[in-house]
């Protein structure tokens, strides 16, 4: 039975709204950032950073035991065990480097390990990084310690080690439980092992257990998706992120292993999307932002209802007032209106750290217009609403004047009952919440060369 508040878009509307768009983990999106000659600009930002603003630390581990065919992450197959030791050595130096630039000791509200497969590190490697973090920063007692895991490669011993050492948010990549789909994506992960892994995690007092699901994968059918979703609901994770598979074999060599003819056609992909959101809502999950679902009591759902959700490169977060300092190859920092991304390949990353340089490969300093638009876009994506007076006051503008062309461009979306533009707010309707990226697009000043050229842009589809 449908919950009374449940609403689903029609397939026609989904088809109409399916366009290429940034995922807005940042604004401006990464393709418009500039190449960086050195880490000097980032060093300057860190040197001026106020310790009143707590930090989120992100650690990227770009190794996996095997590379899945569908993977879109920055990672490589681990060939030798010593590779992680070499990598951790550079990360340790990078922590010291960044920590020494900050004018005072900073507080840490959240630490997130992603990749790749971060659990591939040896226990002593984890401990040495955490020790270095505590030498350079003050970690809150209640800090959120999150890690992405793969139950097939993270042993019981390893997950117990992580949980014993304070990790309190565990994310599991599930994608799909069907063995045929798993075989086609090169990731065999039995339902039994995932269930056992969840049971083990639940023995500890974790704040939340998250699943990632992907629709649009090769071999997926509605029947298989029904089965996967039933198993997911039965395992009852606190949060579920639902992603659309972006098939980009010209950019990702590993995706060339996917048989194109086994991919769901657009029609089936839309049905898979609709089925997923319907089943999750029926199971009592609340839709959060553009692609997350959470149990109503989960802090993400509470933050969504209280309009204090934020978005960063790790997804949605309740840590609204933190800046992100990131470590490791390809890692992305977001500090005081300045974004930067580290070298993507390990060799130049090691080289620059060895030379005592922050390994920034590309970056972007936000101008006044970028900051205003970032606030509006993030408010839409995180909370579904822009409170005009709040934005006007914060940036000393009149929102209706400043965004006059954009508000006019919302009119056709308002006619489809996706958004409401009244004197006090721009707000996504219940139906519009399925298409937050489409609403955000209206306020993006870089699209179509409006403000500057996009370099090598290949955005994923909104559905
Ligand atoms: S485990 Fe995750 S990061 Fe590693 S190859 Fe598979 S999808 Fe990519």
Give the pLDDT means over successive 10-residue stretches in the chain (463 positions). Answer: 64 88 90 94 96 96 96 94 96 96 94 96 97 95 94 96 96 96 95 97 93 97 98 98 93 94 94 95 93 94 91 84 94 96 97 97 97 96 95 97 96 96 95 93 85 62 77
Contact 251, 460 (CB under 8 A): no
Ligand 1 centre distance from Cα of residue 95 (Å):
25
Q: Whose CA is nearest to atom 5 of ligand 1?
A: 67
Q: What are phi and psi of 196, to 5 degrees?
A: -65, -40
What is the predicted pLDDT for the residue at 269? Answer: 93
Q: How far apart are alpha carbons 359 and 42 in whole angstroms?
A: 10
H or E stretch at 269: helix 266-282
Beta bridge partners of 146: 112, 169
Long-range contacts of 330-336 (CB under 8 A, 24+ apart): 330/60, 330/62, 330/74, 331/58, 331/59, 331/60, 332/26, 332/30, 332/58, 333/42, 333/58, 334/26, 335/42, 335/45, 335/46, 335/49, 336/45, 336/48, 336/49, 336/53
| DSSP for residue 133 | H
> CA-CA distance, 337 to 317, in Å (whole number)?
18
Give the DSSP letter string of 228-267: HHHHHHHH--SEEEEEE----TTT-GGGGGS-GGGSPPHH
150 CB near ligand 1 (under 6 Å): yes
Do the strands 169-175 and 208-215 form a parallel or antiparallel pair, or are they unpaired? parallel
Which domains are seen in the chain, by residue range? 30-327 (3.80.30.20), 368-444 (1.10.10.920)
Query: Which residues fall within 8 angstroms of residue 114, CB to CB, at 6 or more apart?
Result: 58, 59, 60, 61, 147, 148, 314
Q: Which two tokens stand for residue 269?
A: 């992909």
- State if residue 62 touches ligand 1 by the CB under 6 angstroms criterion: no
Closest among 324, 347, 417, 337 to 369, alpha carbons compared: 337
CA distance 60 to 40: 22
Number of H-type helices and E-type strands within the chain: 17, 20
Question: Is 174's C-beta closer than 6 angstroms to any atom of ligand 1?
Answer: no
Question: In the structure encoding, which two tokens stand for residue 151, read together?
Answer: 């139950």
CA distance 118 to 170: 12
The per-residue pLDDT for 455 is 52
**Per-residue b or e along 257-272, where b marks 16 or more CB atoms closer than 10 Å to that residue's CB:** bbeeeebbeeebbbbb
Of all atoms in ligand 1, which is nearest to the CA of residue 65? 4
> Quick one: angle between helices 222-235 and 266-282, nearest 10?
30
Pocket test for ligand 1, best of 61, 63, 68, 121 (most atoms within 8 A of CB): 68
State how far the alpha carbon of 19 is from the alpha carbons of 3, 4, 216, 439, in Å.
29, 30, 15, 12
The string of DSSP codes covering 22-52 is ---SSSS-GGGPEE-SSSHHHHHHHHT--TT
Please give the distance, rounded to the nearest whole angstrom, from the Cα atom of residue 67 to the centre of ligand 1.
6
Give me the half-sphere count of Cα atoms (radius 13 Å) on the Cβ side of residue 325.
Answer: 26
Is 182 touching ligand 1 by the criterion CB < 6 Å? no
pLDDT confidence of residue 452 = 62
Minimum CA distance residue for ligand 1 atom 2: 116
178-205 pLDDT, tens digit each = 999 999 999 999 999 999 999 999 999 8
Q: Compute the distance between CA of residue 333 and CA of residue 342 in angstroms, rounded to an integer.
A: 8
Residue nearest atom 8 of ligand 1, based on CA coordinates = 71
Q: Which residue is it, tokens 């979306």?
A: 413
Of all protein residues, the one whose alpha carbon is nearest to atom 3 of ligand 1 is 116
Query: Which atom of ligand 1 is closest in space to residue 187's alpha carbon?
Result: 6
At 432, give phi and psi (nearest 5°): -65, -20
Probe target for ligand 1 pocket from 115, 185, 258, with the most ligand atoms within 8 Å of CB: 115
Cis before residue 398, ω within 30 degrees of 0? no
Q: Which two tokens stand for residue 21?
A: 């768009």
For residue range 283-326, what is the model confidence (pLDDT) as tens digits? 999 999 889 999 999 999 999 999 889 888 888 888 777 999 99
CA of 71 to the centre of ligand 1 (A): 5
> Helices (DSSP H) in 318-367: which residue ranges?
346-354
Say how many C-beta atoms besides its own lie within 10 A of residue 48's C-beta. 12
pTM as predicted: 0.94
Is any ligand 1 atom within 6 A of the Cβ of residue 64?
yes
């Amino acid at each position: 039975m449908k919950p009374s508040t449940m609403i689903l878009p029609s397939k026609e509307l989904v088809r109409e709204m399916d366009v290429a768009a940034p995922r807005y983990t940042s604004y401006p999106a990464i393709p418009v950032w500039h190449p960086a000659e050195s880490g000097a600009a980032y060093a300057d930002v860190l040197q001026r950073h106020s310790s009143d603003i707590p930090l989120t630390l992100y650690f990227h581990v770009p190794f996996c035991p095997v590379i899945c065919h569908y993977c879109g992450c920055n990672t490589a197959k681990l060939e030798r065990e010593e590779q992680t030791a070499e990598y951790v050595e550079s990360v340790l130096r990078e922590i010291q480097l960044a920590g020494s630039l900050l004018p005072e000791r900073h507080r840490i509200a959240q630490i997130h390990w992603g990749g790749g497969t971060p659990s591939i590190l040896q226990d002593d490697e984890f401990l040495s990084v955490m020790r270095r973090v505590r030498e350079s920063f003050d970690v809150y007692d209640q800090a959120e310690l999150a890690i992405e895991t793969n139950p097939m490669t993270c042993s019981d011993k390893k997950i117990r080690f992580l949980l014993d050492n304070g990790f309190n948010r565990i994310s599991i990549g599930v994608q799909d439980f069907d063995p045929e789909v798993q075989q086609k994506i090169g990731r065999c992960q039995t339902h039994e092992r995932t269930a056992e892994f969840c049971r083990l995690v639940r023995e500890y007092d974790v704040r939340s257990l998250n699943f990632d699901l992907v629709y649009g994968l090769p071999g997926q059918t509605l029947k298989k998706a029904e089965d996967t979703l039933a198993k997911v609901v039965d395992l009852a994770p606190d949060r579920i992120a639902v992603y659309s598979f972006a098939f980009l074999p010209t950019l990702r060599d590993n995706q060339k292993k996917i048989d194109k003819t086994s991919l769901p056609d657009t029609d089936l992909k839309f049905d898979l999307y609709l089925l997923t959101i319907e089943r999750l809502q029926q199971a009592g999950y609340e839709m959060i932002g553009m692609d997350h679902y959470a149990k109503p009591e989960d802090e993400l759902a509470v933050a969504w209802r209280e309009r204090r959700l934020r978005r960063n490169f790790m997804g949605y977060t309740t840590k609204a007032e933190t800046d992100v300092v990131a470590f490791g190859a390809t890692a992305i920092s977001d500090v005081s209106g300045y974004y930067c991304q580290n070298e993507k390949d390990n060799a130049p990353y090691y080289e620059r750290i060895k030379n005592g340089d922050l390994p920034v490969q590309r970056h972007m300093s936000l101008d006044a217009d970028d900051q205003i638009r970032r606030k509006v876009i993030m408010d839409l994506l995180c909370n579904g609403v822009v409170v005009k007076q709040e934005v006007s006051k914060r940036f000393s503008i009149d929102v209706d004047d400043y965004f006059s062309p954009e508000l006019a461009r919302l009119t056709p979306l308002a006619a489809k009952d996706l958004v409401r533009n009244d004197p006090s707010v721009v707000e996504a309707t219940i139906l519009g919440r399925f298409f937050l990226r489409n609403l955000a697009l209206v306020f993006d000043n870089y699209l179509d060369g409006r403000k500057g050229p996009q370099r090598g842009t290949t955005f994923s589809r909104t559905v």
